[in-house]
Amino acid sequence: MKKYNILSSLILLLLSYSATATERVLIYAAASTSSAMTEIINQFNKTTPAINVKASFASSSTLAKQIEAGAPAHIFISASPDWMDYLHKRQLISLQSRHNLLKNKIVLVSPKPNKLTVEMNNNFDFPNEIEGKLCLGDTSHVPSGIYAKQALISLGWWNKIKPKVVGSKDARAALALIERGECAAGIVYSTDIQTSKKINLIAEFPENTHKPVVYPVATTIAATTASANIFLNYLSSPQASKIFNSYGFSTN
């Protein structure tokens, strides 16, 4: 009888712990979403104590490769459909959960107090106007850099500006270089302007000069918990959309 009572007590203790334990959800998100996502996660964690959401931010390419290597991410937010496609082809995301979450734009900026005047057309000789380096994301794999290269090619500026280009590991790294004045100008996301007081907006690149800047989101195949799906749905909620919009993202 005594052994039975001890066993019963242990079972009740385990059941009690299981009912109150916090589930952990890990988000891998593009660096350009870090400010908005941090605020959204903090808001969610305060209102949903049974689920603890954490995030890791980096270039979409870096995160996709980490997931491919077995990183324990539950949700992936990419700054480009291409890197979501990369994981889809390797059967590492849930196709049913995939949808476009956000839209963004790319812009030309300069560090304060510098202020350039640039015309966004093929007749303007931008490469000769810029004295110094042009900072952007690495054009071989970083989405912001890839979009930037597409725009520069479309405007006929790429071949002449290429020797001045400095590639960075992600959009936020490029922004940091511009803020420090290490580049005469740079190409970043329009949402980066919302988080920086050290740069001037020069001009927005016409949408027809590059592919649409779309952020898809999906759960990974490893994410089988209900908690991951709860947070995935929360990312499209009015509360989350309001925060995304306040940072300049489009959620429509």
Q: Do domains 21-103+214-246 and 106-204 have the same CATH topology?
A: yes
Average pLDDT, integer, range 221-230: 85
What are the boundaries of each domain within the chain? 21-103+214-246, 106-204
Tell whether the torsion through CA atoms of 39, 28, 75 and 54 is positive or negative: negative
Residue 135 has pLDDT above 50, yes or no: yes
pLDDT: which is higher, 3 or 107: 107
Amino acid 173: pLDDT: 92
> In the CATH scheme, what is the code of domain 106-204?
3.40.190.10
How high is the pLDDT of residue 13?
40
Could you give phi then psi for residue 247, rounded to 5 degrees?
A: -95, 5
247/139 Cα distance (integer angstroms) = 25
User: For strand 75-77 and strand 213-219, is the pairing parallel, antiparallel, or unpaired?
Assistant: antiparallel
SS (H, E, C) 66-99: HHHCCCCCCEEECCCHHHHHHHHHCCCECHHHCE
Note the pLDDT of residue 224.
66
Provide mean pLDDT across the span 127-137. Answer: 93
CATH domain 21-103+214-246 topology:
D-Maltodextrin-Binding Protein; domain 2 (3.40.190)
pLDDT at position 10: 40
Query: 206: which DSSP letter?
Result: P
Which two structure tokens, joined as six digits, stand for 111? 């560090």
For the question of whether the overall pTM of this predicted structure is more than 0.85, the answer is yes
Contact 145, 170 (CB under 8 A): no
Whether omega before 81 lies within 30 degrees of 0, making that bond cis, reads no
